[in-house]
Amino acid sequence: LFLDQSDAVELPIKFIPQYAGCYHCQILLKSSCDVRVYEIECVVNTDRAEAELEFLTPAYQAVIQDIPISNMSSQNWQLEAILEGQGFYGPPVINVGLGETALYPLMFKPIAEC
């Protein structure tokens, strides 16, 4: 049995998530001669955010800025940090449990005036 486009029925769904994460839904459609269940999974990512930090410290003296990372999704995160630039240090991996906020300790230790 093949259906052409004239046999199709649109089912508009409006989805407004509050947080990033994975959302599961079941849609039950019933008629007098048929019952159908559709399972839908929506994955929501946050927009890419950019931030700027300014460090002020004497040469050879380290300064640490704790950067909060909030996980409002429905699963635990294991994040990999890739640091670029001379004098920046931090852990290569940070774990953030669901519903938690973890602090990423970004250290800047200049080896000269810059």
pLDDT, one tens digit per residue, over 19-76 is 777 888 898 989 899 898 989 888 787 766 677 778 788 888 899 999 999 887 778 9
pTM summary value: 0.56
pLDDT score for 114: 66
Q: What is the pLDDT of residue 35?
A: 92
- Per-domain boundaries in the chain: 63-108
For the chain, the three-class secondary structure string (H helix, E strand, C coil) is CCCCHHHCCCCCCCCCCCCCEEEEEEEEEECCCCEEEEEEEEEECCCCCCCCCCCCCCCCCCEEEEEEEECCCCCCEEEECCCCCCCEECCCEEEECCCCEEEEEEEECCCCCC
102 versus 54: the higher-pLDDT residue is: 102
Q: Is the pLDDT of residue 3 over 60?
A: no
Q: Is the pLDDT of residue 6 over 70?
A: no
